[in-house]
Amino acid sequence: MSATQTQLLLDVPLEKRPRHVAIIMDGNGRWAQRQKLPRIRGHQQGAKTVRVITEECARIGIEQMTLYCLSSENWKRPQDELEFLMFLLSQYMIQERETMMENNIRLKIIGRRDRIPADVQTAMDKSLEMTAGNTGTCLCLAINYGGRAEIVDAIRRICQKVARNEVSPDDVSETLVSEHLYTAGMSDPDLLIRTAGEMRISNYLLWQISYAEMWVTEKMWPEFTIADFHEAIGDFSKRNRRFGGLDD
């Protein structure tokens, strides 16, 4: 990272930086196709970008980063691509443990576990266990995740508690719903970054991003850099976040 990039970030006061950054990592396949490469090469390069941006989050003290790794709709993709994604996920869990431990990163995984192969789940659980005591950046991976499914699961758990007389319908509130989401205990994202120029949310963190600031770049995820990340944070720092209120 150049001295200029570092200075740009230093110009952003800590209180103006996002605590929680969520990223829709779009464009792996398109990047590969533009390079006349198989789509899986795009996923491989995208995994390298994940490491770079995760390490930078740890370096600059971002409290939480949530990455959209695999949506519940992605199962519609070709079987060979899905199998490679599962292999890549398993390899990531194994190979990045050292990086996570060195950078004091705590791993969290959200989404439904059904359809995730048993060996991949084992690798996920091992990484979760190893990093549980870390106190730095929380790296949250959304795997087999869908925002609507998350809300449905939260409602189902609340209904079960109502049926057991543990909760009254009158107790249901935004706070109670938040406590039953996959992200319970996490702060809501302040900044939502999407690569590849798409202007949609794609069923991602529907409840949590109610007041997130959006930042979209035309760059594909494999070509997203630390400089781009700093640019997003710098732009975020200039936003006037009113949360439904009026300017001072």
* Model pLDDT for residues 176-209, shown as the tens digit of each residue: 999 999 999 999 999 999 999 999 999 999 999 9
- Looking at domain 18-146+188-237, its CATH architecture is 3-Layer(aba) Sandwich (3.40)
- Position 248 scores a pLDDT of 54
Classify residue 130 as left (phi > 0), alpha (psi -120 to 50) or beta.
alpha
Q: Is the pLDDT of residue 6 over 60?
A: no
How much is the pTM?
A: 0.93
26 catalytic? Reply is yes
Q: How far apart are CA 24 and CA 192, in angstroms?
A: 8
From the list 11, 26, 103, 171, the catalytic residue is 26
248 catalytic? Reply is no
Q: How far apart are CA 34 and CA 194, in angstroms?
A: 19
From the list 74, 153, 203, 228, the catalytic residue is 74
| Six-digit token string for 8 | 């740009």
Question: Which sequence spans correspond to the domains of the chain?
Answer: 18-146+188-237
* Model pLDDT for residues 73-120, shown as the tens digit of each residue: 899 889 999 999 999 999 999 999 999 999 999 999 999 999 999 999
